[in-house]
A and B are shown apart, each in its own frame.
Chain A
Amino acid sequence: MKPTSWNPDVDVAEWTGTQRPYDIIKEGTIAVVFVLIVVLTLSFLFGSPDDKPVTLKQWSNAAPIDFATTAFQELAGTSGVAQYGAPYNNVPGTGQKIGPVSLVNLMGVTIPINAAADFVLRPLGTQTSVPTVTASLATWQHASATQQQTWLTNYAKHLPTAIRDSVMVVTPNDAGPVPSLIGGLTTMAQSGALDNALLSNSTSYFSTNYTEPLLFLSDGTYFAGLASDKHLAGDQWGMMNETGSFPGQAWLWLYTFLYQVSPYSTSSNADALVWATMMLLSALVVFVPFIPGLRSIPRRVKLYRLIWRQHYRSEKH
């Protein structure tokens, strides 16, 4: 008998019909074996994506001018990472917000990066067998901040735009040791030594922390160009794509879709806004049983009557 406060979305009527045993172990085993056969078959037929990782060596050889320009931005503190703010460094006015709240600034600087020191000066310090680099590094480190800024400003007026005989063409411009430092870092990167040096900056015992090489890569245009060529950029629905012709993460369609439409696509807070929207939608899904109206949709749509149509057909007779 139904109680007077009967709620069809919450209360369940007692089952008085027939019952029969159900073997969940058998069904689970069949499901696992079936999925295993499907996975092995697809692996055999199509394999899996296996792109080689992009390295600083690859970048500096393929696009030395882009590398050298980025290296200069790291030294001058004008690169994307140097100006990013938390979690890498303290830069006033940065940090995406949800309303007045900036979650990333609340967490603070958790991965400290000093672009000039970590990406340029410290790696060059390991090149003790290259006298010109050692001398330039000493000149830089003994100069005043004002002098360093003057050199950087002068160098920025004549950034190298060409390579001749494997050497960057730099117009003499009273830039002090800067051309030597940037040239030295480019040569170091082209040999592969910079990849190892940035890994060694990590304080962990095992050198598997690729944060610094990746951040350096992300500051140039080479890496973004590779991503764009493979249709992996944020404005290309890249989040749900895979390299080559492999299918990707189709289940991320909503997350990446939001990035394509206004106001997300035009907002400087896009990441925070998309995240907040997805968290709100996820909360709606988690709390469906407690949300009047939303929880009634399955009962009103009656899709279950299609699945269990034999039962409902027999119920009429």
Chain B
Amino acid sequence: MVHPERFAALFNLSHPGHFISWGVLQVSYGNAVVIVLMVVAFVAALLLPFPGHRDKGGR
């Protein structure tokens, strides 16, 4: 027998969302978090040194 509760997520996101409204702009908290993480990943990709290549003089 299948017990769906065993597959329940640790954090329940199935409740009404919250939104940031600024003029014509409307973004859900969920989307805002994802967008911030994407910007952080982009900046990190620019600024973090390539691993293992520092002493080889290649990059």
Within 8 Å CB of A247, what residues of B? 28, 30-31, 33-34
> Which of A20, A47, A49, A306 has the most chain B CB atoms closer than 10 A to its own CB?
A47
Check if A205 is an interface residue, CB within 8 A of chain B. no
A231 to B15 alpha-carbon distance, docked (Å): 12
Within 8 Å CB of A46, what residues of B? 9-11, 13
On whether A248 and B59 interact (CB within 8 A), knowing A46-B11, A241-B17, A310-B54, the answer reads no
Closest chain A residue to B38, Cβ basis: A250
Within 8 Å CB of B19, what residues of A? 231
**Contact across chains for B31 and A47 when beta carbons are under 8 A apart:** no
For the residues of B in contact with A, the DSSP-based class is loop
Within 8 Å CB of B49, what residues of A? 310
Within 8 Å CB of A307, what residues of B? 45-46
| Chain B proximity mask over A163-200: 1 for CB below 8 Å, otherwise 0 | 00000000000000000000000000000000000000
CB contact list, B11-37 vs A, under 8 A:
11-19, 24, 26-31, 33-35
Number of interface residues of A (CB under 8 A): 32
Check if B1 is an interface residue, CB within 8 A of chain A. no
**Contact across chains for A311 and B9 when beta carbons are under 8 A apart:** no
Check if B2 is an interface residue, CB within 8 A of chain A. no
Number of interface residues of B (CB under 8 A): 35
A181 to B44 alpha-carbon distance, docked (Å): 65
> Which of B11, B17, B46, B49 has the most chain A CB atoms closer than 10 A to its own CB?
B17
> Which of B13, B24, B34, B59 has the most chain A CB atoms closer than 10 A to its own CB?
B13
Check if A66 is an interface residue, CB within 8 A of chain B. no
On whether A310 and B59 interact (CB within 8 A), knowing A45-B9, A47-B8, A231-B17, the answer reads yes
**Contact across chains for A237 and B26 when beta carbons are under 8 A apart:** yes
Closest chain A residue to B45, Cβ basis: A307
**Contact across chains for A237 and B59 when beta carbons are under 8 A apart:** no
**Contact across chains for B15 and A245 when beta carbons are under 8 A apart:** yes
Closest chain B residue to A311, Cβ basis: B59
On whether A44 and B58 interact (CB within 8 A), knowing A247-B30, A310-B49, the answer reads no
Within 8 Å CB of A314, what residues of B? 57
Within 8 Å CB of B24, what residues of A? 260-261
> Which of A46, A240, A311 has the most chain B CB atoms closer than 10 A to its own CB?
A46
Closest chain B residue to A265, Cβ basis: B24
CB contact list, A192-227 vs B, under 8 A:
none
Check if A246 is an interface residue, CB within 8 A of chain B. yes
* 3 nearest A-B pairs in the assembled complex, by CB-CB distance: A47-B9, A247-B30, A245-B13
A-B residue pairs in contact (CB < 8 Å), sample of 21: A18-B58, A20-B56, A45-B10, A46-B10, A47-B13, A230-B16, A231-B19, A231-B26, A240-B31, A241-B31, A242-B17, A245-B28, A245-B29, A246-B13, A246-B14, A248-B31, A260-B24, A307-B46, A310-B50, A310-B53, A314-B57
Q: 10 extra interchain contacts, Cβ-Cβ under 8 A, other than A250-B31, A310-B57, A311-B59? A: A44-B9, A45-B11, A46-B9, A230-B16, A241-B17, A242-B17, A244-B15, A245-B30, A248-B30, A250-B35
